[in-house]
Structures are given as structure tokens and as C-alpha cells.
Structure 1
Amino acid sequence: MAHDHSHHGGHDSQRRLFWAILLTGGFMVAEVVGGILSGSLALLADAGHMLTDTAALALAWFAARISRRPADERRSFGYHRVQILAAFVNGLTLIAIVAWILFEAIRRLISPVEVTGSTMLVIAGLGLVVNVVVFAILHFGDRENLNIRGAALHVLGDLLGSVAAIVAALVILATDWMPIDPLLSVLVALLILRSAWKLTRESGHILLEGAPEGVDPSTLRREIPEQLEAVCNVHHVHIWSLTPGRHLVSLHAAIDEGEDRQATLVAIRSLLGERYGLYHATIQLESRHECADAPVSDEAHDEASDRS
């Protein structure tokens, strides 16, 4: 039976990312011009940060576009995993940016850099407005889409950076105390790092085909025979996610001789969908002694593999 893996939110995600690219890229150009006219190294450095964000948004947009391609003979699940790959790359990029910010902050604490507070305040204020608009565009999109979340985290980093720059500019104008700039940058970097690590961990878990949160294979092995009298035991259980919210499962179920195989299959599918939210299931039915390689549990199978 053919399965439709299309994502109805793909058009909306792609549109939101497109507008985010236009706004972020457009302000990046304005920031470069402002940095050159004012001679502000801080603004030029922030423009470089926004360049990486524009590239990250472009990657997310490209992934959203590619993921809408229909499934074919070579890729029966379609291209949805491209979004997860983009989210993983964006997460790693954010961690690299955090490392650079921390390094630059330490360097500036050791050797303070002169910053023009007034110019910094104006550009940072404009940047805050642009970043708030872009973040709102992405935040109210598909919140289960890791690709959108990764792009939003990049913009959130810029937004927090703009707030920090405004505070730093006000402090510099009032007190001429330059270390406030790198100190606030460290605070922003640590806030970004927490979210970046979570994004990288979640997308990496999906790429490694780990079991989705809240669904435990051992629970299925125990509860399916408890709920369905026709089922003797369940083994070879594998649960993974195509994308967040799109979970898949395959399993073997042993039943007694004489049981209605079709009715049991329907009952297992209904239980998986209604109780665990697993609507895409591949189920192999066997008689109690039919599967020669079936251990009582997957743990026993793993122990046997370790001994060999």
C-alpha cells in the first residue's frame, strides 16, 4: 500500500523563510554600509554574523523546498529528512558561532577595542526591530519543524545580540566603560549555546533513528500482549522518526494457532495509533514457534550479539 508522506505545512514554512531571508539579508547590507561610513569595527563584525544567519536561513529555505519533492522509487519516504540535516548543520553552526563570540570576548577583555557608542546605538536599534519582525515570522510557523526552529534560533541570537548591543551602547555613552560590550556578548553566547545544543541533540537523535520521546520499545513489548489476548509476545521492535511528529514502527508479533490473523493485525494497528500515536506501522505476524530467530525480548537479542 502506498503511503503519502507530504507535509501540508511545507508551503507556509518556505514562505516564512523566504521573507526572513529578505529582511535579514537586506539589513546585513545596510549594516555593512553603516559600518563603513562610521568606521565601526563592531558593526562590521555584527554584519559578518548576520551574513552567517542569512546563509543559515537560505539553507533552511532550500531544505524546506527540497522536502516537498514527492517520494520516488529510490527515496520511498521522500526528502523530509533534508530538513533534519539542515537543522543539524544549523545547530553545529550556532555552536561554532558561540565559540567565536567567546574567543573574541576574551580577546577584547584583554585588549579593549574602542567602540563608537552613538552609531552602535542607532544601528543596534534598527537591528532589533528587524530581528523582532523576522523572529515573529518564524516563531508563529510550524513549531514542530526542527528546520524552522533552527532558523529561528539563529535570528534569536541576532535579536539578543541587538539587545545586548543597545545596552552596551548606552553604558558606553554614559560611562565610556568598554568592557561592557564583550561581557554582554558572553551572556548572549551562553543563552544561545543552551538552545543550540538542544537543537543539535534532537536533530542528531532523529538522524540516528533513535526512539521518539515518550515512546519506549520495551513498553510496547510488554503492553501489546497485555492488551490483546491473541498476541503471545512482541519482539524485534524498532521505533524511529522521519521528522518530529512523524513516527514509524516495525515489529514482530507472535500469536497462537487458530487466531484470526487479519483481526489481530487490525487490533495491533488500532492500539499503536490510539495509544501511542504510531500510525505508520509495519507488522509481521507469526505463530508462537514460527520465528526461529525471535528472542523473548530485544535485550536478549542484544546480549547474544555481544557474546558473539
Structure 2
Amino acid sequence: MKKILLLALTALAAIALAACGGGESTGSSEKVIKIGVNGADGPQWPVMVELAKEEGITLEVVEFTDYILPNKALAAGDIDLNAFQTISFFSNFVTETGEDLVPIGTTVFAPLGIYSEKITSLDDLQKGDKVAIPNDASTLPRALKLLQEAGVLELSDDFGITGDETKITSNPLELEIIPMEPQQTARVLPDVTIALINNGVATQAGLTPAEDAIYFENTESETVEPYINIIAAQAEDADNEDYLKIVELYHTQEVEMQLTKSLKEVNLSSVRQQKKQQQYLKIC
């Protein structure tokens, strides 16, 4: 855990904008903080609201249904923080838009999962099967790497974290890889053999990732650092004491216990599923 945290903080430092390094800590004049999330994507938020209240902060959780609006809302000042995205996704957004946003802390690593309504194991894939993957610049390469990790296909040595389908060097089953908007990956489950679905999208679709995914990323791998989730703020608020308090609260025992409890409440019926559940989520 500490190793992942150190790696995450190193990655955060690498992508933070120059404005992150300066100013004095001023705190918030109002004790109302709006934090954007991608749907009600976790049992931690009611706990966070109560913990913030004990600190004299009213934490308002604002739900979004896609992966673009939370950053746009943050840049526009409609919300104060957001907590929905990976380091990689955030870095791509800032690079592409030039918005003056910075990461101020890490939250969790939630593995990307492979889901299916047609098969229960990747060993059951057949020639020509359809595979839905998210098409955004950070998750598409992540999805292809996961398929390689699962032994489904092979990628070129120079794939890196920005590769795409042109870097597939071996696809023995001639699978049809279909990139699409992340929100669509869950909706097309009936029409494809497997779909690689982001954690938040899966939850919104009524899936329980720790139970329903037939395969997901290894939380112990050193390749997961770009996919650790963060809390982001406007650059001018990088040292805001109240915002940093929210980051601190996320890492309390109460939040960790709630996340762990939510996994234990999943109806797991086999030893294999229990092992999946234990490996599923890490607070970073």
C-alpha cells in the first residue's frame, strides 16, 4: 500500500502544473465544498459527508453521468473539487484542454474489469467475437494492456501508455475490437461477447465489479500507477486547507472500513469469487 502511495504521489508531482508549487495556504472562506463524482460511485461518500461535518465543513456530493463534465464543471468553478478520474485520464484532459487544474491527493485504485453476459471465462472466447473497449485516450491503451495481461492478444514492445489498436501484434482469435464512448460499454453488453468497463460506469449500470467482472487488473502490479484515482482542484486552490482536509478524510480508517465493508457485503458464492473480492480495491 505504501509503495503504491509513494508511486502515485511521484506520478502526481510529474503531471502537476507549475502553479501547484507556490502560494500560501489560505483556507476556504465558506465551509461549503462541492465535490463532483461520476455517479454515486461509492459507499464512502455518506461517510465523507459525516466526517466533513465534524470538521465544520458541509460537503456536497454532486453526481455526474459521464467522464467529461466533472472536469469542465471544476474548471468553470461550478464545483470545488472532483474525485472520479485516474492520473492518466486527468493528465490527458489537462494536456488537451489547457485547463488550470491540479491533483491534490490520491483516493483509490479500482481495477478495470472485463464483463460478459455470454461467457464466464476468457477461455470461452471464440474466433471473431466482438470486444467493446472505452475509446478515451487514457482508457483505450489501458484496456488493450488488460487484454494482453489476460493472454487474449499481444502488443508491440513500444506500446507504452498511449498505444492503440495499430500496436496489436497478435490477435489469434481475430477478435473484433470496438472502441466506443466509455458509457456505452455497459449498454452494449448484450451485443458483444465481452466489454471492458470502467468501475464507475459498471456501478451505474447496476453491476457489482468485485462480483460480476470475469477478469480485472492486478492491484499488485507496478504498472497501475497511472490508473490510481485522484482528487483534483483548480490550480489556485492547490494549498486550500479545507480542500486538503477532504483528501485527509478520504484516507481515514472510517472510509477504508466502509469500502471494505461494502465489498464484504457482496454476495460471493465461491472461493474464487472471494479471492477476487479481496484483491479488488485498494486505497492509495
TM-score (norm 1): 0.22
- Which of these two proteins has the greater Rg computed from alpha carbons? 1
Report the structure, 1 or 2, having the larger strand content: 2
Report the structure, 1 or 2, having the larger helix content: 1
TM-score (norm 2): 0.23
